[in-house]
Amino acid sequence: MSQTHKLARTFLLLAILLLSLNLRPAIAAIGPLIQSISQFAQVRSIGISLLTTIPVLMMGLGAIYAASIRQALGERGGIAIGGAIIAVACLMRLWADNRYGLFASAVLVGLGIAVIQALLPGFIKRNFGASTSSVLALYSTGIVAGAAIGSGTASWLEDQLGWLSTLAGWALPAVGATVVWMLASRNSQYAGRSTAQPGAAAKGGSVPFWRIGRCWSLLLFFGIGTGAFMLAMAWISPFYIGLGLTKGVAGLLLSVLTIVEALTALWLSLTINRFPDRRGLLITSLLLVAAGFLMLIVAPLVAPYFAVSLLGVGIGILFPLSIIVAMDHLKDPTLAGNFTAFVQGGGFIIASLVPLTAGSLRDVFNDLSYIWLLMAVASLGMVVLAVRFSPASYGRFQEDLAEVQGGVLRTA
């Protein structure tokens, strides 16, 4: 590999990382600002949850229509459009001092994120081949790190700039990431606008993934993992404020959680190739997530930093690995991208219900213990699915997929 090619590859990795860093701050900053949003925008708990639920729901819808988005926009241009939409959505929050403006910006934020997340995994597999798992883990690390930065700086920025400017300020890094992307991706391999190859629809766009049980298992797995991520990001800080801790300490706990998530995801990106069989990592992550949520129920104030660290390590493994395992199942970049879009589409829709349920329960019971328990039970239940995700099962899945594409699903 020539020095020029290495530099171009590194620049492209930087662009992917910068884009991923911008996929969560506009959502993650909501939790630490809940008091100001409630006071000045007159938004109750369920409304606060909608500011998280709406973008996640948009991500799900965007993933479902990933093949159409790819053909309409192309991968390179579509990803740039997604970055621009995020920037516009954040900027409009300068004037979003009421619930309607906040909800409208949440829709746009979700749309921009949805476009990028629908297109980037397939682009990564197309350009990085055997290194796809590591690059996907780096991409996931950026998502988690962006959440850490967004949540960790929100309270401090609010004190300096006010809550509206804090939310709007994320337009600047979104613009920067989009510019870097356009420069770095000029010579990359990508599916262009309306340039699907012959048979491309058959290779992904029209495949009835829903007819294969493994697709639903992976969809549910991704939904639970992402739901845990979104729930912690949206409600850990308000939960501890409700227990009597100061806004600063509650924000610090959220920062610890997201920083641990980011460091764990970074570790995963560096070591993922040592674990061709992902099941040990998956089961470990699920047990840690369940333990963290249970600690929030039985002893939230005894060792709060330990509790959020358990969640951080668990989610830091589970969130990126749920994407990686889906991508592991297929080799063709277009088909793998569309399959991952199916998994993420349904998974994000499931995940969008988690913070909404949390807000509803909080309004009714003034307590989040019920949602912590629900997520702990769900995480333990996912262990039953995780033990089945062996490397050998990928081949059986590909056989099932070939038969579905031929119109006959293997019943054995």
3 within domain boundaries: no
Per-residue confidence band for 138, with pLDDT thresholds at 50, 70 and 90: confident
Distance CA 409, CA 412 (A): 9
218 within domain boundaries: yes
Distance CA 20, CA 308 (A): 23
Distance CA 370, CA 237 (A): 17
1 within domain boundaries: no
Distance CA 368, CA 370 (A): 5
| Stretch among 114-118, 137-141, 291-295, 388-392 having the lowest mean pLDDT | 137-141
Give the pLDDT of residue 407: 60
192 within domain boundaries: no
Q: How many CB atoms lie within 10 A of CB 88?
A: 16
Q: How many CB atoms lie within 10 A of CB 349?
A: 18
Number of Cα atoms under 13 Å in the Cβ half of residue 15: 24
Distance CA 279, CA 387 (A): 6
273 is in which domain, residue-wise? 10-187+202-405
Higher local confidence (pLDDT), 43 or 348: 348
Domain total in the chain: 1
Q: For residue 222, give the CATH number of its domain.
A: 1.20.1250.20
313 within domain boundaries: yes
**Mean pLDDT, rounded, for 368-381:** 92
**Mean pLDDT, rounded, for 370-387:** 92
Query: Under a CB-based contact definition with an 8 Å cutoff, are residues 275 and 327 in contact?
Result: no
289 within domain boundaries: yes
Give the pLDDT of residue 199: 42
Distance CA 203, CA 206 (A): 7
Is 374 in a helix, a strand, or coil?
helix
pLDDT tens-digit map of 170-219 = 999 999 999 999 999 988 887 777 644 444 443 444 677 888 888 888 99
Tell me: pLDDT of 366 over 50. yes
Query: Under a CB-based contact definition with an 8 Å cutoff, are residues 75 and 102 in contact?
Result: no
388 within domain boundaries: yes
412 within domain boundaries: no
Tell me: pLDDT of 412 over 60. no
Higher local confidence (pLDDT), 168 or 4: 168
Rounded to a whole number, what is the largest CA-CA distance in the chain?
63
| Stretch among 46-50, 180-184, 195-199, 293-297 having the lowest mean pLDDT | 195-199
Number of Cα atoms under 13 Å in the Cβ half of residue 269: 23
